[in-house]
Amino acid sequence: MALLFGAVPGGPELLIILLVLLLLFGGTAVLLAVVGVGGLRLLGGASDADAGADEARIAELERDLSETRAELAELRSEREDDAGSAGDRGGTDDADDYEESRSS
């Protein structure tokens, strides 16, 4: 079996230089290729299944938000009713008032 660089003067040195260049720049090139392909997949167009899952998730979050807003409105109205009935009796409301805490 004949060596690849047997008859070329400086062949082993060229082989060593190519190996060093591969070690220096090959890892960077592979890393850039992996990150580039991964980035393209992240930025690429979503498939129909992904889009459907996203729409379902958005709908779920909107439903949760509307429920939370309804609960908040109910709690605020209960608090106002409690404050109004305490004022009718001449008592004081011991609960911290949101507006008063925001003004200080």
- Which residue did the predictor score with more confidence, 84 or 79? 79
Chain-centroid distance of CA 41 in Å reads 15
25-63 per-position pLDDT tens digit? 888 888 888 888 877 777 776 566 677 788 899 999 999
Percentage of residues of the chain with pLDDT beyond 70: 68
Question: Taking Cα atoms as reference points, which of 103, 100, 102 lies closest to residue 83?
Answer: 100
Please state the pTM of the whole predicted model. Answer: 0.38
The two tokens of residue 87 are 């004022």
Q: Which two tokens stand for residue 79?
A: 């608090």
Residue 87 pLDDT > 60: yes
